[in-house]
């Protein structure tokens, strides 16, 4: 049967796009951090929506699970294949269409990278506002399937806000396509919205119609060092209130900045800053005129570096963006990565509590905190833990839930956080998830083991 299926898949996509060799499939079976590796029968790379549909149909007929995968940069093991599955890699579906200048929209294949969409938008005088450090690899389909957040959520919202329509293959191999781009279109259920954040459990997205925003004329970036966490957190409200052009508001700490500096062979920007905020404003006119008095009014500031030209702005951003790569190199085992939101008025207290918790449970481990401060989204990374020991992870998510927060701010639930979904979702909500899953995927073909808990 397995051979029959592989032959059928090769018939659909061509034998060169059915990968079965263990070495060749390894990068598709291992997550970005290297913490999880799965097993699959094959990685299949369809070159069109019709091929993707035929692949899903063949797998469904054989009762073989399908794991959709884009850039494989996800951080919750959502694209790590279940045993015996077929990985459907969308990377060949990378066409990026023309920008429609009247609506500010673009149609892109699910396998197009964020960077490719951003570049196409920029060339036409527009901007795709979704941005994250994995932009060169993360795909349109993956960012929709995870409802990715990133740097600009404070101003532009999560990916869902930018998705006008999608084309997707449903678990039975049928295709839904709604890429017309009508701005107003109240014709029933929001299937595109449903697929946002569905993590490959409801459909294989093959293309999307995306909304762009006008390109910004200028931007300014300030890296502001504070005496401590309390002063940095206290600055979040005034910065949000007083800077209408606020585009990003990110938080890092001295230890993370020092590690980035060591990796880059560069001196950290300031001495004596325990916590730092990266503030980006974007718009037209003299941005510094608006930014300077706001920064001057903040309390507990040690020092500030400001940039307005592109390269220097990028330079300041690297102190923040390089955290993920640098932390992934610390120690002999991959980091445990949690991605949480706490109510902004609890953020300062949460930082102290999570530090105490990790020090207590795993004194030899190292805790790294950074994140999207403007959204109350903190990335809690712990290095020096055994890959399978979830004691610290569990304690942290319980602390988050007890603080009124979310155990997944932006990365999703995946396999990694599925056991803890009940901390944030009621039994009734989980039952509704299950009903939706069962309605669209009664045979459980798409991404089993991800997001939706097993039926009881």
User: Residues interacting with ligand FAD, by CB under 6 A?
Assistant: 32, 67-75, 78-79, 90, 110, 132-134, 138-139, 141-143, 145-146, 148-150, 199-200, 204-205, 324, 410-411, 414, 447, 450
Q: Which is nearer to ligand MLT, 77 or 301 (CB)?
A: 77
Beta carbon of residue 325, minimum distance to ligand FAD (angstroms, whole number): 6
Nearest alpha carbon to residue 326 among 148, 150, 133: 133
According to DSSP, residue 415 is labeled T
Beta carbon of residue 360, minimum distance to ligand MLT (angstroms, whole number): 23
355: CB partners within 8 A, 6+ apart: 367, 369
Among positions 47-86, residues that touch ligand MLT (CB under 6 A) are: 75
Number of residues that bind ligand MLT (CB under 6 A): 7
393 binds ligand MLT (CB under 6 A): no
127: CB partners within 8 A, 6+ apart: 118, 121, 212, 213, 214, 215, 216
Q: Which is nearer to ligand FAD, 176 or 230 (CB)?
A: 176
Given ligand MLT, ligand FAD, none, residue 141, with its beta carbon under 5 to 8 Å by kind, binds: ligand FAD
379 binds ligand MLT (CB under 6 A): yes
Nearest alpha carbon to residue 139 among 117, 171, 121, 166: 117
Given ligand FAD, ligand MLT, none, residue 304, with its beta carbon under 5 to 8 Å by kind, binds: none
Cβ atoms within 10 Å of 414's Cβ, excluding its own: 24
417 binds ligand MLT (CB under 6 A): no
Given ligand MLT, ligand FAD, none, residue 70, with its beta carbon under 5 to 8 Å by kind, binds: ligand FAD
35 binds ligand MLT (CB under 6 A): no
Burial class (CB in 10 A: 0-12, 13-18, 19+), 217: exposed
Read off the tokens for 414: 């995946």
Residue pair 304/279 in contact by the 8 Å Cβ criterion? no
According to DSSP, residue 373 is labeled G
Per-residue x/- track, 235-274, ligand MLT (CB under 6 A): ----------------------------------------
Q: Which is nearer to ligand MLT, 75 or 202 (CB)?
A: 75
Which residues of 125-201 form beta strands (DSSP E)?
Answer: 126-127, 163-169, 175-177
Q: Which is nearer to ligand MLT, 111 or 335 (CB)?
A: 335
152 binds ligand MLT (CB under 6 A): no
| Partner residues linked to 209 by β-bridges | 107, 165
Q: What is the dihedral of CA 414, 45, 100, 167, to 10 degrees?
A: -60
133 binds ligand MLT (CB under 6 A): yes
Q: In a 3-state reduction of DSSP, which class is residue 316?
A: helix
Nearest alpha carbon to residue 282 among 154, 162, 164: 154
Given ligand MLT, ligand FAD, none, residue 337, with its beta carbon under 5 to 8 Å by kind, binds: ligand MLT
- Give residue number: closest CB to ligand FAD: 142
Nearest alpha carbon to residue 225 among 192, 269, 194: 269
33 binds ligand MLT (CB under 6 A): no
Whole-angstrom Cα distance, residue 119 to residue 104? Answer: 14
How many helices (H) and strands (E) the chain has is answered by 15, 17
Among 72, 146, 324, 406, binds ligand MLT (CB under 6 A): 324
Beta carbon of residue 109, minimum distance to ligand FAD (angstroms, whole number): 9
339 binds ligand MLT (CB under 6 A): yes
Beta carbon of residue 372, minimum distance to ligand FAD (angstroms, whole number): 7
Given ligand MLT, ligand FAD, none, residue 416, with its beta carbon under 5 to 8 Å by kind, binds: none
Beta carbon of residue 352, minimum distance to ligand MLT (angstroms, whole number): 21
Whole-angstrom Cα distance, residue 420 to residue 246? Answer: 34
Given ligand FAD, ligand MLT, none, residue 138, with its beta carbon under 5 to 8 Å by kind, binds: ligand FAD
CA distances to 24, 85, 205, 342, 447 from 58, in Å: 22, 12, 17, 44, 16
Q: Which is nearer to ligand MLT, 229 or 324 (CB)?
A: 324
Binding residues vs ligand MLT (CB under 6 A): 75, 133, 323-324, 337, 339, 379
């Amino acid at each position: 049967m397995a051979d029959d299926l592989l032959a059928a898949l090769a018939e659909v996509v061509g034998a060169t796009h059915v990968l079965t060799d263990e070495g060749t499939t390894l990068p598709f079976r291992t997550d970005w951090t290297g913490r999880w590796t799965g097993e699959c029968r094959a990685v299949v790379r369809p070159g069109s929506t019709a091929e993707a549909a035929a692949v899903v149909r063949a797998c469904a007929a054989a009762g073989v699970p399908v794991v959709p995968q884009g850039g494989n940069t996800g951080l919750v093991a959502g694209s790590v294949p279940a045993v015996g599955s077929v990985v459907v890699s969308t990377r060949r579906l990378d066409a990026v269409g023309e920008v429609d200048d009247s609506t500010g929209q673009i149609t892109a294949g699910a396998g197009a990278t964020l960077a490719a969409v951003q570049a196409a938008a920029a060339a036409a005088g527009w901007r795709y506002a979704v941005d994250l450090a994995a932009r060169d690899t993360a795909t349109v389909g993956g960012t929709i399937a995870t409802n990715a957040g990133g740097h600009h959520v404070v101003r532009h919202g999560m990916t869902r806000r930018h998705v006008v329509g999608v084309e997707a293959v449903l678990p039975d191999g049928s295709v839904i396509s709604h890429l017309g781009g009508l701005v107003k279109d109240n014709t029933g259920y929001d299937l595109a919205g449903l697929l946002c954040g569905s993590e490959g459990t409801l459909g294989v997205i093959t293309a999307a119609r995306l909304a762009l925003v006008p390109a910004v004329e200028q931007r300014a970036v300030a890296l502001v060092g504070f005496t401590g966490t309390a002063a940095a957190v206290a600055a979040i409200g005034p910065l949000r209130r007083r800077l209408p052009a606020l585009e990003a508001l990110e938080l890092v700490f001295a230890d993370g900045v020092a590690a980035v500096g060591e990796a880059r062979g560069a001196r950290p920007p300031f001495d004596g800053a325990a916590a730092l905020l990266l503030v980006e404003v974007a718009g037209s006119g003299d941005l510094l005129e608006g930014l300077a008095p706001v920064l001057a009014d903040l309390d507990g500031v040690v020092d500030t570096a400001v940039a307005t030209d592109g390269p220097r702005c990028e330079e300041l951003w690297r102190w923040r963006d390089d955290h993920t790569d640098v932390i992934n190199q610390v120690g002999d085992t991959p980091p445990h990565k949690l991605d949480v939101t706490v109510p902004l008025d609890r953020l300062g207290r949460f930082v102290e509590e999570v530090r105490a918790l990790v020090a207590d449970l795993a004194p030899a481990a190292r805790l790294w905190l950074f994140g999207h401060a403007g959204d109350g989204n903190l990335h809690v990374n712990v290095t020096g833990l055994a890959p399978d020991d979830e004691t610290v992870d569990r304690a942290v998510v319980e602390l988050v839930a007890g603080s009124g927060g979310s155990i997944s701010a932006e990365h999703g639930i995946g396999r990694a956080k599925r056991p803890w979904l009940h901390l944030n979702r009621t039994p009734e909500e989980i039952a509704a998830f299950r009903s939706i899953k069962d309605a669209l995927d009664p045979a459980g073909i798409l991404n089993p083991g991800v997001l939706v808990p097993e039926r009881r």
